[in-house]
Amino acid sequence: MKRFVEGEDRLQGALLPHCLDDYVTENNPVRVIEAFIDELDLATLGFDGVVPETTRRRPGHEGRFRVDSPRR
């Protein structure tokens, strides 16, 4: 009998999966919902901002990519 319980390597890169998709199994009902929504034509349904403008910037909110310097 071993004296200590052996677990995961403490030097591993991440505790959680790198992608949210890793949490969802292949036969999960959310896959059907995702496929349905991907097939919708949001522009014809009246949604604004469906077609992105060519701004040569990264997609997403600007604050999402900002890195604040540490306060001293």
pLDDT at 58 (0 to 100): 66
- Nearest alpha carbon to residue 58 among 46, 49, 66: 66
pTM, entire model: 0.44
User: Which among 43, 23, 45, 26 has a CA at the least distance from the CA of 35?
Assistant: 26
Q: Is the pLDDT of residue 1 over 70?
A: no
Residue 60's pLDDT is: 63
DSSP 8-state class, residue 68: P
Q: Look at the alpha carbons of 55, 60, 66, 67 in this order and tell me if their dihedral is positive or negative.
A: negative
